[in-house]
Structure 1
Amino acid sequence: MTPPPTAPALPAAPLTVAAVQSQPVPGDLTANAASGAALVRRAAGAGARVVVLPELFLPAYHPPTLAADPAGTDVTADLARRVADPRLDPLRDTARDGGTVVVVGAAVRQPDGRRTISALVVDRAGEVRVGYDKQQLWSGERELFDPGDRGATLLVDGWRLGLGICYDGCFPEHGRAAAADGAHAYLCPSGYLAGSAHRRDLYYAARALDNTMFVVFANAVGGADPWRFNGGAAIYDPEGRPLARGADTGEAVLVATLDPDALARTRAAHSMLLDRLPDQGLTRSSLTA
């Protein structure tokens, strides 16, 4: 008889996080790193220890610019997935000075030549590493980028933080894989276009409830059609209710505290992670009516 699965350990203390919505300048990585550092300082001033900035924030999510100037819009990773680009010094300094972990979107040139949409992690010592490469590329992204081949979990102060990027979060399997790895929260830098508010607000709340984990959703905002983004950054509790939510327009820094007691209560009341079957739905029968 197979023993029942055991619940993953919970963090010992709360963690205050921030989800940012902002409008970076297409192609100006230096300016965007500086404005990102200012947003991180703002979040840290409100108590945030982890700050999530939008997808491709550093070069901006603007495919024409990303296609025309890959050398200027990419950062380069070494074999240890470290990024030494001096244009990121403002983020390094701010993370180090404020004791803050920063998750920020970038276009990364990998050592093997692949180009990925990635989440960089700037740690409290100011070191920059590639934390995760987007696995689910959306539409025209496939013409510019290569997909990542594995998930990733970030460990901060006893919290296990699964990493996803935008379209990843549209796939229930991606969030579930993070939860299966013990994630207490799921961090999703994103770039949702105007007209997608219904899906934007549904996907990430659903990933929270599906997996009884917090979700931190950062998003770009503003810009010119057809690359105009719709904000709505949010932090969701483990039942999918917003702890903080941004408007559809304007810059915002949303701060909330992730409470391990709320995580424990939710997982005690809604035990989907423990009750799921190892072969759920894989064995099927067919009926004719």
Structure 2
Amino acid sequence: MTSFPSAPLTVAAVQADPVPGDLVGNTSTAARLVRHAADSGARVVVLPELFLSAYHPPTLAADPAGTDVPADADAAVADPRLDPLRTAARDAGAVVVVGAPVRHPDRRRTIAALVVDRSGTVRVGYDKQQLWSAERELFTPGRRGATLLVDDWRLGLGICYDGCFPEHGRAAAADGAHGYLCPSGYRVGSAHRRDVYYAARALDNTMYVVFANSVDGTDPWRFNGGAAVYDPEGRCLTRGPDSGERVLVATLDPVLLARTRADHPMLLDRLPDQGPARARVRG
């Protein structure tokens, strides 16, 4: 039986323009944005993919030592460069999800969603499973999905290209997710796909989707914003413009979530499989 959270949860989806390779400066920017979001009532703040280093493959290739965040065998991150973000999360009482390149003890390098909890502890919450294009030359894909627990909300974690695969969001929903958090890096020219994928993941799975994205930058690494929060029918609750920094705040409502799942019970009605083989019908 599906369980639902007992109280609403206010979240923020951020779009911002980090500086390539400036992990210290980008961490300070992230801390400022977390404070801004918390001042607007957000208790979960989602920032873009690879935000702490910026999504800039030439820099990531040239300076892995300067851009990577080290994690230990238990996925904990003690890097002192992240201290401003720890402080901001602790002071705000907010959970932060932010993208970063992570170096693991076995030397794997992943595109990660770091989770900064309300005590300021930083952990690798999830490693991106679906790598896109040139990412495969720099990174190793993640090995498993992940669900973030915030109070009694269950929030699946995905990163950018993960959200292009219906199976990824569905795996989160099958794990009981009420929402799906997606730090991303969509470039200029992809606005149509950006706006379809995450609304579709929301409706496919009758769950909230929080989509954060980088914005602006310099060609060819120029990003198109459009950070958004979608309700469980795929309706946009708030969306940023295609340019300029924004913090978009919305409240996830467990009553609406329960009503939507009662009215549209795809998660209950889905077949365990589509049959042993596909029939071929001649026309």
Specify the TM-score bucket, using the shorter chain as the normaliser: over 0.9
Residue 288 of structure 1 deviates from its aligned partner by 3.2
Q: Does residue 51 of structure 1 match 2:41?
A: no
TM-score (norm 1): 0.97
TM alignment of 1:212-227, pairs within 5 A: 212-227=206-221
Residue 286 of structure 1 deviates from its aligned partner by 1.9
Determine the C-alpha separation between the residues in 1 that align with 2:113 and 2:183: 8
Match among 74, 86, 92 for residue 92 of structure 1? 86
SS at match of 1:79: coil
Residue 144 of structure 1 deviates from its aligned partner by 0.4
Which residue of structure 1 lines up, in the alignment, with residue 253 of structure 2? 259
Match among 26, 30, 33 for residue 36 of structure 1? 30
One-letter amino acid of the counterpart of residue 130, structure 2? Q
Which residue of structure 1 lines up, in the alignment, with residue 68 of structure 2? 74
Determine the C-alpha separation between the residues in 2 that align with 1:154 and 1:31: 27
Which residue of structure 2 lines up, in the alignment, with residue 3 of structure 1? none
Residue 281 of structure 1 deviates from its aligned partner by 5.6
Match among 217, 235, 251 for residue 229 of structure 2? 235
One-letter amino acid of the counterpart of residue 96, structure 2? V
Q: Does residue 288 of structure 1 match 2:275?
A: no
Structure 1 unaligned blocks of 5 or more: 1-5
Determine the C-alpha separation between the residues in 2 that align with 1:167 and 1:30: 26
Determine the C-alpha separation between the residues in 1 that align with 2:131 and 2:58: 17
Structure 1 pair 138/281, CA: closer, same or farther in 2 (3 Å)?
Answer: farther
For each residue in 1:12-59, what CA deviation from the matched residue of structure 2 results, as whole angstroms up to 9, or x when unmatched?
000000000000000000000000000000000000000000000000
Q: Percent identity over the alignment?
A: 78
For each residue in 1:176-202, what CA deviation from the matched residue of structure 2 results, as whole angstroms up to 9, or x when unmatched?
000000000000000000000000000
TM alignment of 1:1-289, pairs within 5 A: 6=1, 8-280=2-274, 283-289=277-283
For each residue in 1:269-289, what CA deviation from the matched residue of structure 2 results, as whole angstroms up to 9, or x when unmatched?
000000000013663122234
Structure 2 unaligned blocks of 5 or more: none
Determine the C-alpha separation between the residues in 1 that align with 2:256 and 2:23: 38
Determine the C-alpha separation between the residues in 2 that align with 1:197 and 1:243: 17
Aligned length in residues: 283
Determine the C-alpha separation between the residues in 1 that align with 2:28 and 2:276: 49
Determine the C-alpha separation between the residues in 2 that align with 1:265 and 1:217: 23
Determine the C-alpha separation between the residues in 2 that align with 1:282 and 1:212: 27
TM-score (norm 2): 0.99
SS at match of 2:226: coil
Determine the C-alpha separation between the residues in 1 that align with 2:34 and 2:275: 43
